[in-house]
Structure 1
């Protein structure tokens, strides 16, 4: 199975993560600071220039105070 950045499921994941970040009211810069990463890291996964591995996904959810299982549930609906 190839890792397609622009598949419909990956696009949905990016949308859900971005919406979650906006819902909790934090900027890309704040999320990046919580992750101890540059702001461009957040920007790149949100616009689809970068893939996330499962550990990064969990770390992002934790940094936003989101349950990774709930986020994945929104992606698979």
Structure 2
């Protein structure tokens, strides 16, 4: 069963995504341009109003100049 978007693990994911973006010194708008989505989409993901699928996660990591393999290791260690 898929956990609710409000589950603690999704909170860990949201914090991780925000951290990746901020570490890359990107605004939500700048990241949105790189991912070809509106700023509001980035905001909704970070606020937990939208699910994150694995392909979009990979794109998010790459847009933030992070290796997905490294980022996922950090995410798992954080408790996701």
When the two structures are superposed, what TM-score results if normalisation uses the length of structure 1? 0.91
1:36-75 mapped onto 2 (5 Å cutoff): 36-75=36-75
Other-structure match for 1:22:
22
Contact 1:6 1:48 (C-alpha < 8 Å) held by counterparts: yes
Distance in 1 (CA, whole Å) between partners of 2:60 and 2:41 is 11
| Paired residue total | 77
Q: Quote the RMSD (CA, aligned, Å).
A: 1.1
When the two structures are superposed, what TM-score results if normalisation uses the length of structure 2? 0.88
